[in-house]
C-alpha cells in the first residue's frame, strides 16, 4: 500500500509528490528509448543493459481540480538476468509499474505473466500497473492485434493499456501521465 507520508518527503524542494516508477518487459521492447523520449535525455543504452539507470522528470497533474507538481523517478532495469534476484533492489519503494511489449514481436508478450508474478513475489501486488505496447509507428510490421490485446489484458488482470512509439513520441507523455494518475488515485489525493 502506498503511504502518502512516503510520497511527500521532498515538499521542501518544491515537489508536492515524488513517485518512483519501474519500467519492465522483455529485451528490445524499447523501454530505454521510451524513457529517453519522455525525459528528452541523451543515450543511456549501454548503462541500462548492465546496471540499469534512473531518470527524473517533473509533470503537472490536475487531480480533483487541483494542480500537483509530481516528480517521477523512473528506473529502467538492466536487461541481463530477467526475473533475477538483482531486480528486487529496484522494486523497493516502487509506487507504479509500466509493463511493456513490442507490438511488432508477439514473443515479447509471452513472459508478461511472469513479469507480473515477479512483481507480486517482491510485494508489489497492490501497486498500479499500466501495460504498454511500443513501436506503434511500425504498423506494417504489427504482429500483436486487438484480439491479442483483449486476451492479455483479461489474462493479466490489467485494465490500463496505451500504445506508444518511443521513436515518434506518440502517447509517451500520456503513458506517464496515466501511471501518475493511477498512483494518485491509490493514495486518494
Q: What is the pLDDT of residue 187?
A: 82
Find all residues with CB under 8 Å of 184, minimum gap 6, and list them.
17, 61, 63, 68, 70
**Shortest CA distance to 185 belongs to which of 10, 13, 17?**
17
Q: What is the pLDDT of residue 90?
A: 80
| Other beta carbons within 10 Å of 152 | 18
Cα–Cα–Cα angle for 57, 59, 62, nearest 5°?
Answer: 165
Please state, in angstroms and rounded to a whole number, the distance separating the CA atoms of residues 54 and 74. Answer: 5
Find residue 63's DSSP bridge partners: 66
Low-confidence residues of the chain: pLDDT under 50 = 1-2, 7, 10, 12-14, 45-48, 50-51, 83
> Which domains occur in the chain, in start order?
4-186 (3.40.50.300)
User: In degrees rounded to 5, what are phi and psi of residue 179?
Assistant: -65, -35
pLDDT at 84: 56
Identify the pLDDT of residue 65. 81
Task: Work out whether strand 66-76 and strand 17-25 pair parallel, antiparallel, or are unpaired.
Answer: parallel
CB 115, CB 127: distance < 8 Å:
no
Looking at residue 82, its pLDDT comes to 53
Looking at residue 41, its pLDDT comes to 61
pLDDT at 47: 47
Nearest to 149 by CA among 138, 137, 162: 162
Strands (E), 77-160: 96-102, 129-134
SS3 33: helix
Which pLDDT tens digit goes with each residue over 169-182?
999 999 999 999 99
Amino acid at each position: 500500500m502506498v503511504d502518502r507520508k512516503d510520497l511527500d518527503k521532498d515538499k521542501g524542494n518544491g515537489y508536492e509528490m515524488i513517485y518512483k516508477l519501474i519500467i519492465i518487459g522483455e529485451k528490445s521492447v524499447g523501454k530505454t528509448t521510451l524513457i529517453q523520449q519522455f525525459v528528452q535525455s541523451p543515450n543511456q543504452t549501454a548503462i541500462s543493459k548492465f546496471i540499469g539507470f534512473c531518470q527524473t522528470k517533473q509533470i503537472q497533474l490536475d487531480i480533483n481540480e487541483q494542480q500537483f507538481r509530481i516528480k517521477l523517478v523512473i528506473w529502467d532495469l538492466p536487461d541481463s538476468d530477467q526475473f533475477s534476484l538483482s531486480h528486487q533492489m529496484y522494486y523497493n519503494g516502487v509506487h507504479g509499474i509500466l509493463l511493456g511489449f513490442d507490438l511488432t514481436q508477439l514473443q515479447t508478450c509471452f513472459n508478461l505473466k511472469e513479469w507480473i508474478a515477479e512483481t507480486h513475489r517482491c510485494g508489489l501486488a497492490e501497486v498500479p500497473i499500466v501495460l504498454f505496447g511500443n513501436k506503434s509507428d511500425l504498423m506494417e510490421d504489427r504482429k500483436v492485434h486487438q484480439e491479442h490485446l483483449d486476451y492479455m489484458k483479461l489474462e493479466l488482470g490489467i485494465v490500463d493499456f496505451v500504445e506508444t512509439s518511443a521513436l515518434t513520441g506518440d502517447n509517451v507523455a500520456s503513458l506517464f501521465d496515466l501511471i501518475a494518475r493511477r498512483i494518485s488515485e491509490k493514495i486518494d489525493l
